């Protein structure tokens, strides 16, 4: 395989960088040597962009008389249903070894898979080694989620084909088996009902399966021995799996597994429509908040008593804080995701308020212990208003005139509670004075967060703490080792 072929496939089907491709190409350069040395078939597979599948980008076959693969498989799509070890190594970055596996070409092989990583330890591909086995060997695997117990299954099913429905009769998938002349020789009960409905024929045994189900013509004509098709037939959405069963070079039959996903696709469309509606609601809420803010600014420009200015500014900040929640929701790449990262929310609100105080030399520090903290939009609105009030209080009262200072917002957690600390090194206060802002904070902490709000004594400045329980609405992703509060 040429260097250009690997590069072209990676550029066309993956999101890999030029540096990643160089790493893969260096490994591909050694594949033939590895194949001859180990008498094994070597491959490099890479995950496809915008897809759950993988693609073969490099291969090398041992130079021997017996051939497991008669034709090149470069550019072939790899499905997890048929080669789970490949995807296990991708997900876990661990080696996978299957003592007995069936490839997408219908070959029985011993398969080993190891992940290929780049300079930042990301898995960019997998290196696969396969050796053909001609009889079942003791099964051994180092991973989960890979089928096992083939020998035990054959003992339960028996060698008599009449015993086969013992399992397949209980499944909702349609199981159809045709012989080497494409005559239907087996159908499970669901399959019988499906064929009868589609073909309007009662006598279906030993009939040509394509005559009964004409839409399978393209499936049978497709050259790959193992493949998955998405088809739409008479308003039915079907996933069709085809497996050609061969003995050496002779076709013994073809197994067709059909899954009717019409109801699933309908529900997916309904959820998509609901998602679009929810997104539109978020847009309208954000736009309405911006309209209210614009009206307040217009009123401020028209003139008002000087003593009212502070109330207008406080109200504008509160509106902006709520609006920030919806901006973060709308920025999510997943339209169904309404969770808000409250660390990002805190940065957005606090930094904007500090920047707006152009006459004050105040620096802002926000620490989250390296963790992502997600919460629902409802709780996020409450947290946004709390952050707004407490940071605003520090900006207003902690640093008179042109005094320099610092405001710090820290997040601490243990397994049960999350604590939000807001403190400054300003002039401090003897006793918190009851105000509308503190009343808003108190009510939101108690009623919305089911938590506690208090001031802690400190030698300099003020130190406010909000404590509330971690629940199903508050999720913490510990990306770094946490420091308990």
Lowest-pLDDT choice from 57-66, 154-163, 412-421: 154-163
Dihedral Cα 315, 316, 322, 325, nearest 10 deg: -160
Q: Which of 406, 467, 458 is nearest to 432 (CA)?
A: 458
Are 3-148 and 158-260 the same fold in CATH?
yes
The domain segmentation of the chain, as residue ranges, is 3-148, 158-260, 263-335, 339-485
Mean pLDDT of 386-403: 83
Mean pLDDT of 200-224: 89
- The pLDDT, as a whole number, for residue 82 is 76
Q: Which of 17, 46, 35 is nearest to 116 (CA)?
A: 46
pLDDT in tens, 439-473: 888 888 888 888 999 988 888 889 999 999 888 78
Mean pLDDT of 312-339: 73
Confidence check: pLDDT of 293 > 80: no
| Edge-first strand listing for the sheet containing 361-367 | 361-367, 404-413, 417-424, 463-469, 452-455
Quote the pTM value.
0.45
Confidence check: pLDDT of 38 > 50: yes
Mean pLDDT of 100-129: 81
Confidence check: pLDDT of 418 > 60: yes
Mean pLDDT of 25-34: 92
Question: Could you tell me whether strands 340-341 and 372-375 are parallel, antiparallel, or unpaired per DSSP bridges?
Answer: antiparallel
CATH class (in words) of the domain with range 158-260 = alpha beta
- The pLDDT, as a whole number, for residue 9 is 93
Mean pLDDT of 262-281: 72
- The pLDDT, as a whole number, for residue 94 is 87
- Answer CATH for 3-148 from 1.10.3720.10, 1.10.1040.10, 3.30.230.10, 3.30.450.280: 3.30.450.280
pLDDT in tens, 248-264: 678 888 999 998 888 88
Provide the CATH topology of domain 339-485: Heat Shock Protein 90 (3.30.565)
């Amino acid at each position: 395989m040429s260097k250009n072929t690997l590069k072209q496939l990676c550029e066309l089907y993956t999101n890999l960088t030029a540096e990643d491709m160089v790493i893969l190409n260096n490994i591909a350069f050694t594949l033939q040597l590895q194949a001859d040395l180990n008498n094994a078939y070597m491959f490099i597979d890479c995950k496809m962009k915008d897809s759950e599948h993988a693609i073969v980008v490099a291969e090398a076959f041992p130079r021997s008389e017996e051939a497991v693969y008669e034709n090149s498989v470069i550019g072939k799509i790899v499905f997890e249903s048929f080669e789970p070890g490949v995807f296990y190594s991708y997900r876990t970055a661990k080696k996978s070894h299957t003592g007995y596996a069936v490839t997408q070409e219908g070959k029985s092989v011993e398969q080993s898979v190891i992940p290929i990583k780049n300079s930042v330890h990301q898995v960019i591909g997998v290196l696969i080694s396969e050796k053909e086995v001609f009889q079942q060997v003791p099964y051994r695997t180092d991973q989960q989620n890979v089928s096992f117990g083939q020998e035990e299954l054959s003992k339960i099913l028996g060698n008599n084909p009449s015993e086969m429905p013992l399992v397949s009769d209980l499944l909702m998938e349609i199981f159809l088996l045709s012989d080497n002349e494409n005559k239907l020789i087996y159908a499970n009960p669901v399959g019988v009902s499906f064929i009868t409905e589609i073909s309007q024929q009662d006598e279906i045994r030993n009939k040509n399966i394509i005559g009964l189900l004409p839409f399978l013509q393209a499936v049978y004509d497709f050259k790959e021995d193992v493949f998955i098709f998405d088809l739409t037939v008479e308003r039915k959405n079907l996933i069709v799996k085809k497996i050609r069963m061969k003995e050496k070079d002779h076709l013994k039959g073809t197994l067709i597994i059909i899954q009717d996903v019409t109801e699933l696709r309908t529900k997916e469309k309904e959820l998509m429509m609901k998602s679009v509606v929810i997104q539109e609601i978020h847009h309208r809420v954000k736009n309405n908040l911006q309209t209210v803010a614009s009206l307040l600014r217009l009123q401020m420009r028209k003139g008002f008593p000087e003593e009212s200015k502070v109330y207008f500014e406080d109200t504008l900040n509160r509106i902006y804080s709520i609006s920030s929640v919806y901006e973060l929701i709308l920025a999510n790449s997943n339209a169904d995701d309404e969770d808000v990262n409250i660390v990002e929310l805190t940065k957005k609100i606090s930094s904007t308020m500090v920047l707006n105080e152009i006459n004050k030399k105040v620096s802002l520090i926000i620490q989250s212990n390296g963790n992502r903290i997600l919460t629902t939009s409802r709780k996020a609105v409450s947290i946004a208003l709390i952050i707004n009030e407490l940071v605003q209080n520090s900006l207003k009262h902690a640093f008179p005139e042109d005094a320099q200072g610092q405001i710090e917002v820290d997040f601490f957690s243990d397994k049960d509670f999350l604590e939000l600390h807001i403190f400054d090194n300003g002039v401090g206060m003897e006793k918190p004075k009851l105000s509308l802002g503190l009343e808003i904070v108190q009510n939101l902490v108690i009623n919305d967060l089911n938590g506690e709000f208090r001031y802690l004594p400190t030698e300099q400045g003020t130190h406010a703490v909000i404590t509330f329980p971690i629940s199903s609405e508050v999720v913490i992703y510990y990306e770094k080792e946490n420091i308990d509060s």
